[in-house]
Amino acid sequence: MASEKGVKLLNFWVSPFGQRAQIALAEKGVKYEYTEENLMDKSELLLKSNPIHKKIPVLIDDGKPVCESLIIVEYIDEKWAGKASFLPSDPYARAQARFWADFIDKKVFDCGSRIWKLKGEALEEAKKEMIGILKLLEGELGDKEYFGGEAFGFVDIVMVPFTAWFYTYETFAGFQIEETNPKLVAWAKRCMERESVAKTLPDPKKVYEFVGFMRKRFGIE
């Protein structure tokens, strides 16, 4: 992609955190240069741009790095403010959106990782926890089209990349999210109708294959 004012994104294709930045950039219509990182052999640019955590994603805007996915999404929202904001204008509603984004960050990824790493009773516990986490999110969604109401926004951008991992969670834990959390799956399908999401999220089967590779690497299988 062509660069706009030196906008670059350092990412790894399967990362739900990096995908947030991709979706946010697409929603704002920002053109940028995409760099796929090899996390086993991180580039000098990544190590220089994020010396504290040494992780993707990193957004580089005119040579200045912005790290951590939630911060990156808010930065994109504020920097390219000409289009509809991801966050609501009301301070309380904005605080609530940030709360749920933080909840997703702290709960979904961690629990999902345990699902594909564990076996037996521990796996069953992780599955129950995941269903509970998704039910809480489903309760917040309610009957709304998106988490913020009628407009696709901050919490949607934060959560939707994890839907590409649903097949992996289901396959390893032996359950169907559409049965346990039907409203959330319906929301995910609505999100996939957006070009920004459809063009960003990887094939769920490829995510599953990647996780299989990681399991072998960790000696789980």
**What is the CATH architecture assignment of 7-79?**
3-Layer(aba) Sandwich (3.40)
**Angstrom distances, CA of residue 211 to CA of 57, 113, 214:** 19, 10, 5
Q: What is the DSSP secondary-structure string of 82-116?
A: TSPPSS-SSHHHHHHHHHHHHHHHHHHHHHHHHHH
- Separation CA 12–CA 51 (nearest Å): 17
pLDDT tens-digit profile, the chain (221 residues)? 344 459 999 999 999 999 999 999 999 999 999 999 999 999 999 999 999 999 999 999 999 999 999 999 999 999 999 888 999 999 999 999 999 999 999 999 999 999 999 999 999 999 999 999 999 999 999 999 999 999 999 999 999 999 999 999 999 999 999 999 999 999 999 999 999 999 999 999 999 999 999 999 888 86
> pTM to 2 decimals?
0.95
All structural domains of the chain with their residue ranges: 7-79, 91-217
User: Strand 7-11 relative to strand 64-67: parallel, antiparallel, unpaired?
Assistant: unpaired
Q: What is the CATH number of domain 91-217?
A: 1.20.1050.10
3-state secondary structure of 53: coil
